[in-house]
Amino acid sequence: MKNINNVFKFEMKMLLSQKSIWIITIIYFLAMLASTIMPTLFSGNVVQNLLPGNTPRYSVLIEDDIWNEKDILSLYKDNAEVNFPTDEDTFVKSIQDNSVSLGLVLGSNYQVKVVRNNKSINDDNDNILKPIRQYVINQDLLKAGYDADSIEGIINKELSVTEELLGKNNAILFMPLYVMIFIIYILLIVFGSTISSIVAREKNDRTMELLIASTSSTSLITGKVLAGALISIFSLSFSGLGAIAGNIVNRYLLKADNSIFSGSVLSWQVFAVYAAFFFVGYLMYLYVYATLGASVNRIEEVNAAVGPVTMAVVVSFLFGMFALNRPDSFPVVIASFIPLSSPFTMFVRYAMGVVPIWQLALSFIILIFTAIASAIMSTKQYRKATLNYGGKQKKKLLFKRKSA
């Protein structure tokens, strides 16, 4: 146990000294901060509040008496500033020098022409012309002797609907469960190959010779896996800090609440199940990655060696996504018992209330035994690597000496 602790501390220092770890940590923080703030920041009202004068400005040229300036102003009073040039030259000039966002020419027989200086892919005439279209409809209704307001009220009649929920509201669980699945996925994708590379790199220098003289292979591989797990969780935890910082900005600076967890409630039992499957499943995967790192002879072979496991992670992630919509489907139920995919799917089924306790217990027992088997396999493979470091030729010499 003492040797494991020493190896753990040594590996922690080595990992923390790597600039790449800190760069990834900073990226996690900034990415989550940006993803939390940006949707709120770029929603129309917030941008307009932060940037005074950003309200759209329209220039409207009226060419027929059927249009009334007062009515047009009332149509856009909440969305844009409207001015009415007296002649066409002033109208065109205001558009060309970008004094206004666009121009509207209102002609006879309710003809409307939209005039722009330049058009981008985001420009949409439908939203701009919607108030005018409704205005024209109301005018025709009045001419026909109908009350436009009454007819509009009939058309837009809303039902008084109440909903009674007998089970769980899984809709509000979607986003937090998605984030929890993604955490497992990103940790394995980013740090799984890192563990493989660390183990494989030691076989190409004299580090192995020093390590095997001071401690056992079991202590070495266990210390490496535990250190890698803790560092990866530490690095990803900064994304949580970024989310917290982003929500603080939303609430107190932007006067909005854009929390991905707002309105959702996850019980402590769900978090407990998630933590159990996450911890055991994550260690299982790291031991598998360490085994693959110990099985290669050169660092360049790591990517090819970990390819199948990475593919298994991607497929398991997709099963987790599918479980969010169909937690009781047959493929998801089967995947929740397979050790490679159960960390992604079983806690989702439990959170949505469609898994019996015996299935939960059986899946976790299978996962534990698989993790133990992965640790034993990884230790044996690492022990072989410590005996045969330096190349395959030394393995042949070892058998020759043993037979002599």
Pairing, β 57-62 against β 81-83: parallel
**122 pLDDT tier (thresholds 50, 70, 90):** low
What's the CA gap between 148 and 138, in Å, rounded? 5
pLDDT at 180: 83
**26 pLDDT tier (thresholds 50, 70, 90):** confident
pLDDT at 231: 81
pLDDT at 173: 75
**253 pLDDT tier (thresholds 50, 70, 90):** low
Q: Tell me the mean pLDDT in the region 101-129.
A: 82
**281 pLDDT tier (thresholds 50, 70, 90):** very high
Report which of 195, 398, 189, 396 is spatially closest to residue 294, judged by C-alpha positions: 195
Read off φ and ψ for residue 114, nearest 5 degrees: -95, 125
**254 pLDDT tier (thresholds 50, 70, 90):** low
pLDDT value at 88 more than 80: yes
pLDDT at 33: 75
Domains in the chain with CATH codes = 2-40+169-392 (no CATH), 53-151 (3.40.190)
Q: What angle do CA 281, 238, 232 make, to 5 degrees?
A: 35
pLDDT at 396: 46
Q: Tally DSSP H helices, then E strands, for the chain.
A: 16, 4
What's the CA gap between 299 and 197, in Å, rounded? 6
pLDDT value at 30 more than 50: yes
pLDDT at 398: 37
pTM: 0.64
Dihedral of CA 201/207/208/212: which sign?
A: negative
pLDDT at 228: 77
pLDDT at 318: 94
Highest mean pLDDT pick, 105-119, 169-183, 218-232: 105-119
Mean pLDDT of the chain: 77
**322 pLDDT tier (thresholds 50, 70, 90):** very high
Q: Tell me the mean pLDDT in the region 304-324.
A: 91
pLDDT value at 11 more than 90: no
Q: Tell me the mean pLDDT in the region 183-193.
A: 84
pLDDT value at 113 more than 70: yes
pLDDT value at 337 more than 90: yes
Q: Tell me the mean pLDDT in the region 116-125.
A: 76
Report which of 128, 129, 154 is spatially closest to residue 141, judged by C-alpha positions: 154
Contact, 285 vs 186, CB < 8 A?
Answer: no
pLDDT at 271: 84
pLDDT value at 399 more than 50: no
